[in-house]
Amino acid sequence: MKEQRVMWFDNHCHFTSMKADTKDALDAAHTMGVSRFLTVGCTVADSQAAIGIAGRYDNVWATAGVHPHSAKGGIEGLAELLGQPGVVAVGECGLDYYYDNSPRPEQRDVFAAQVRLAHNHDLALVIHSRQAWDDTFDVLSSEGVPNKTVFHCFTGGPAELDRCLQIGAYVSFSGIVTYPSAPELQQAAQLVPLDRVMVETDSPYLAPVPVRGKPNQPANVRHVGEFIASLRDLPVEMVAEVTTATTMDFYGITEKAGSLGH
Interior angle at CA 138, CA 148 and CA 171, nearest 5: 35
Q: Where exactly are the structural domains of the chain?
A: 8-251
Confidence band for 254, pLDDT divided at 50, 70 and 90? confident
Q: What is the mean pLDDT of the chain?
A: 95
| 38 and 14 Cβ atoms separated by less than 8 Å | no
Q: How far apart are CA 43 and CA 12, in angstroms?
A: 15
Rg (CA), the chain: 17
Tens of pLDDT, residue by residue over 37-66, are 999 999 999 999 999 999 999 999 999 999
Span 12-24, average pLDDT: 96
φ/ψ of 82, rounded to 5, equals: -70, -20
Nearest to 243 by CA among 76, 44, 33: 33
Give the CATH superfamily of 8-251. Metal-dependent hydrolases (3.20.20.140)
